Amino acid sequence: MTEPARPSEASRPRARKGEGDGPAPLPDDPADVQPAPFVVRDRAGEVRFAPLSPRVAVLVAALVVVGVVLWMARDAVRPFVVGLLLVYLLDGPVRFLTRVGLPRALAILIVYVVVGFLVVEFLNLMLTPLVDEIRRFIDDFPQLAAQFEAQVGRLRTFYTGLEIPDAVREWLDAAIAGMFGGGQTPPAGGFDPGIIVSVLTGATSVVGLLFGYLILPVWAFYLLKDRIALTAAFDRALPPTWRPDIWGTIRIVERVFGQWIRGQLLLGVVVAVATFIGLILLSQFVDPIFGRYALLLSIIAGVLELLPIIGPIIAAIPAVLLAATAGLEPVIAALVLYTLIQQLENYVLVPKIQGDAVELHPAAVMFAIVIGGALAGLLGAILALPIVSAGRDIVRYLFRRAGFDERQGPSTGEIPARTAGSAGDPDPTGRASAPSASEPPPDRVTENEDPDG
């Protein structure tokens, strides 16, 4: 497939302000629709994949090589994934300051100072009581363990008097014994020199990981400062016929990840506050044990909110175990509290905050989390949901682009009427629209053009 001559910067139409929220809608005039560059129609009228031009083939090969290298170095890349999230969060305030006339470097420094001040104040406000609760838990742990074992003993006495099969009784005895190690002691043995190698390897990994996180602010500063030039360089490297679709795909990813980041941060804060209030109320009306560790348990609930479906269940386990040291009523109260918070989240907060940007079936969510965790650890489990959601929307977008001419019909050439959510629309949300030749991607800028100004 031969590529048309690349348009000059002077002839390239500029994007209008405020058009960066999604792919351009389908135009009313078929002449304005730029055909998908990756499909062609043969003589029989069937749509087939188009052969790749040399430039596209080189870019695809380079992308594959970069992907393989990043995968092989995925442990070292994790801090930079966090850095990209940081860049995304800080880019909005930086763009706002540049619009009011501040130089971009000065705007970044101001944002850094404000964010650093807020983080320090937050730590001063939360760190002291949190450390106090952690110390209190460490001091109380022997007593809590003894109380928990006493409650388990009462449970054993209860089911011993029941008429249950011997096999079930033996299984329960083994499960209870397993909670306390079953009385087993680690095997004795001589000194293993391999321990030194393991310790040194672990220490090297920790040092490398810490270094990666320490340089994140500097790395993020350069990305924020040179974002316009980097965007222009990336745009120049793209084949002209592929630019609209590549930028449309990027906008899909940006929309999904942006809505997911904002939603998860807000959900984490709301769930943490709701858990804290609920635990304080339980400490007043059920048992004081909940109030002794309310801040610690609420922070755990807020952080684990990053793991959908599984996270709230894991967050409830420490509270239930803690309540088990005080009796059956606190256990029931803890289960009721965490169940109510999860129902509030699933049926009220998530639809309002997340919308349908990252909406997936619960079975698909759990499968994605397990696969993401197996491939990339905790970070993979956290990012599995937005990655799968973005992939779903990209597939919808590509299907829509590849089948556009087919829906148009071989003889009439008419574009079917399209309304968001109409029957037969392959994407009822209207998120995967084909780009228009007359509407270039809003991100396409030159090095001398500042879209923020």
Residue pLDDT, tens place only, 77-118: 888 888 888 888 899 899 999 999 999 999 999 999 999 999
User: Residue 37 and residue 366: Cα distance in Å, rounded?
Assistant: 36
The answer to whether the beta carbons of residues 92 and 110 sit under 8 Å apart is no
As a whole number of angstroms, the distance between CA 124 and CA 122 comes to 5
Q: Residue written as tokens 């396409």?
A: 444
Distance CA 265, CA 257 (A): 12
Contacts of 26 (CB under 8 A, 6+ apart): 33, 415, 418, 433, 434, 436
Q: Find the DSSP H helices in 53-193.
A: 54-72, 74-99, 104-160, 166-179
Per-residue pLDDT tens digits for 162-216:
667 767 767 766 766 665 554 444 444 444 555 555 655 666 666 666 777 888 8
Which of these, 449, 427, 377, 298, lies nearest to 25 by C-alpha position?
Answer: 427
Q: How far is CA 238 from CA 31, 84, 283, 399, 443, in A?
A: 23, 22, 61, 21, 13
pLDDT of residue 306: 84
* Residue 66 CB neighbour total at 10 angstroms: 10
Give the phi and the psi of residue 173 in degrees, each rounded to 5.
-60, -40
The CA-to-CA distance between both ends of the chain, in Å, stands at 39
Q: Which residues contact 277 (CB under 8 A, 6 or more apart)?
A: none
Residue 95 is predicted with a pLDDT of 92
Helix, strand, coil % (nearest 5) of the chain? 70, 0, 30
Per the DSSP assignment, residues forming a β-bridge with 49 are 39
Q: How many Cα neighbours within 13 Å face the side chain of 332?
A: 4
- Rg from Cα positions in the chain: 28
pLDDT of residue 269: 92
Task: Judge contact between 45 and 56, C-beta under 8 A.
Answer: no
Give the SS3 label for residue 39: strand
What local confidence, expressed as pLDDT, does residue 194 receive? Answer: 55
C-alpha distances in Å from residue 80, one per residue of 218, 340, 373: 11, 37, 18
Is the Cβ–Cβ distance between 33 and 434 less than 8 Å? yes
Q: What is the pLDDT of residue 77?
A: 83
Please tell me the predicted confidence (pLDDT) of residue 7.
41
Strand partners, 33: 436
- The number of beta carbons lying within 10 Å of the beta carbon of residue 245 is 21
Tokens 């006493």 found at: 150
Under 8 Å between Cβ of 81 and 383? yes
Structure tokens, 5: 């001559």
Assigned token pair, 441: 């991607």
What is the rounded distance in angstroms from the CA atom of residue 384 to the CA atom of residue 60?
A: 24
pLDDT at residue number 205: 64
Where the chain has pLDDT below 50, the residues are 1-33, 182-191, 405-449, 451-453
The pLDDT score that the predictor gives to residue 137 is 85
Distance CA 316, CA 302 (A): 11
Structure tokens at 184: 């087993």
